[in-house]
Amino acid sequence: MKKTFTIMLLLLLSCSFVFAQGGNESPKKDEPITLEFMQWWEPEMAPGAMEKICSDYEAANPGIKIKRISKPYAEVQSQVTIGAASGTLSDVLGCDPTWIYNLVKQNAVKPLDELMTADNYDESQLASISVLNGKKYLINVENFVYPLFYNTDMFKEAGISSVPKTHSEFIAAAEKLTDVSKNQYGWDISLSLQNPTGIQNDIMSLVWASDGSGVPEPNNDDVLAVFNLVKTMNDKGLLVPGFITAQEQDKVEHFVNGRTAMMIDSLAHINMIRSRNPELNFDIDLAPVADGYSGPHIMDCAAWGITISQSSKHPEEAWNFVKYLMSPEVNAYIADSVNAFPGNVNGDPNWVKEDALNQKAFSFYKENGVRNEFQGAPEANNLMRLMSEQMQAMLNGKQTAKEALEKTSAAWAKVYAK
């Protein structure tokens, strides 16, 4: 009897467990959908800003809950790598645009084209969107631009009344601004192989300024013109010595100390420059373009991007949240919390109104647009390093600009073929 009773009790308990499990697998119809949103932004935003954004969205969309997964940048990058391989990425992903190539290659993120089309979404309001294989995968939520900085006192002393707008004017200005006896030079760049982002911010930014292209194929006339510009500047002794091994912070240091008259740099460094040298008089403008070019002077940028995972069970809801983040008001609110420019060109951030240089840069941004072709490229830093190696060989007299680009193109092709 005891044995029979024990068996029956175990059967009942087993059935109860099965029913309980089945209940968990089939949520009630009135239970909200939960969207995971992973990003590194919240720790860098004003305290409480991301929480407000998500709670406001939930209030306007009662059937949706946003689960924020907020980690430092390096941890998000690591989680993205793991999640892409295992198919467990969050529904909505804050993404560095330089990661998107590998995510697309792994089929880890969803093309946004169909979602946009079904929603009749107006793409003209977006400042930048990454396109791979003819499909749109990532939207720049916030942009951090790189204008031309120049020392106004040096310009006055050299008798230069206007900022150079073309390559030939740029060279002529740099000649007037260079005075070796004062350890003063016209232009500064950074070509360090250790941190090769100078290729992006100093070299390719001049290609993009003239609406040119160099990624994935750098062996073209647009890039050749800029390589020849750099070679001319170097041959004439107009570049700050040591630029071959310099990193971005070295370039900024030279500008702060009055050693260089011009540099292309992040707008985010304005406050740092002012704090380091309150007596320094400087201004910003657009980077020079190729002679004869008459279109917009497109600006280099870094960005916070956003995409939707292929594994999301709620892509329409995920898109609706992305669309909310990209709305002019919310996008401007995010921009205010990090001193960035909104990815929606109709956004009107308040922080830019507090400073004349920021206002000026924002006008440039809205009127001319931004570009960074390394966003969406494979092994972006490696591509920059490979180009820097060939540029250095050119500047050392070991090859022509054309040969440097031919070798860069061949090296890049191997990266893309992986």
pLDDT single digits (tens) 165-218? 999 999 999 999 999 999 999 999 999 999 899 999 999 999 999 999 999 999
Q: Which two tokens stand for residue 402?
A: 């054309």
Least confident interval from 18-22, 23-27, 337-341, 356-360: 18-22
- Has residue 21 got a pLDDT over 60? no
Q: Identify the sign of the CA torsion 121, 124, 129, 132.
A: positive
- Has residue 4 got a pLDDT over 90? no
φ, ψ (nearest 5 deg) of residue 216: -90, 0
392: closest CA among 401, 381, 383?
Answer: 401
**Which tens digit of pLDDT belongs to each residue from 207-247?**
999 999 999 999 999 999 999 999 999 999 999 999 999 99
Q: Average pLDDT, stretch 382-387? A: 97
Q: Average pLDDT, stretch 21-26? A: 35
> pLDDT class for 31, splitting at 50, 70, 90?
confident
**Which tens digit of pLDDT belongs to each residue from 109-119?**
999 999 999 99
Cα–Cα distance for residue pair 66/38, rounded to 1 Å: 10
pLDDT > 70 fraction of the chain, expressed in percent and rounded: 93
- Has residue 3 got a pLDDT over 60? no
- Has residue 18 got a pLDDT over 70? no
**Which tens digit of pLDDT belongs to each residue from 95-135?**
999 899 999 999 999 999 999 999 999 999 999 999 998 99
**Which tens digit of pLDDT belongs to each residue from 257-271?**
999 999 999 998 998
Share the mean pLDDT of the chain. 92
Q: Residue 24, class by beta-carbon neighbours within 10 Å (0-12 exposed, 13-18 middle, 19+ buried)? A: exposed
Q: Identify the sign of the CA torsion 357, 360, 361, 362.
A: positive
Q: Average pLDDT, stretch 393-399? A: 98
- Has residue 1 got a pLDDT over 90? no
> pLDDT class for 15, splitting at 50, 70, 90?
very low
307: closest CA among 31, 83, 46, 60?
Answer: 83
> pLDDT class for 287, splitting at 50, 70, 90?
very high
- Please spell the DSSP secondary structure of 242-257, one letter per residue: TTTT--HHHHHHHHHT
pLDDT at residue 341, as a whole number: 95
**Which tens digit of pLDDT belongs to each residue from 310-342?**
999 999 999 999 999 999 999 999 999 998 999
**Which tens digit of pLDDT belongs to each residue from 62-75?**
999 999 999 999 89
pLDDT at residue 29, as a whole number: 54
Q: Average pLDDT, stretch 276-296? A: 97
- For residue 213, what are the contacts with CB-CB under 8 A and spacing of at least 6? 207, 220, 222, 373
Instruction: Please give the C-alpha separations between residue 188 and each of 91, 264, 312, 370, in angstroms, as whole numbers.
Output: 43, 8, 46, 22
pLDDT at residue 11, as a whole number: 39
In degrees, rounded to 5, the angle at the alpha carbon of residue 306 between the alpha carbons of residues 305 and 312 is 155
Domains of the chain and CATH, by start: 33-144+302-362 (3.40.190.10), 148-285+378-416 (3.40.190.10)
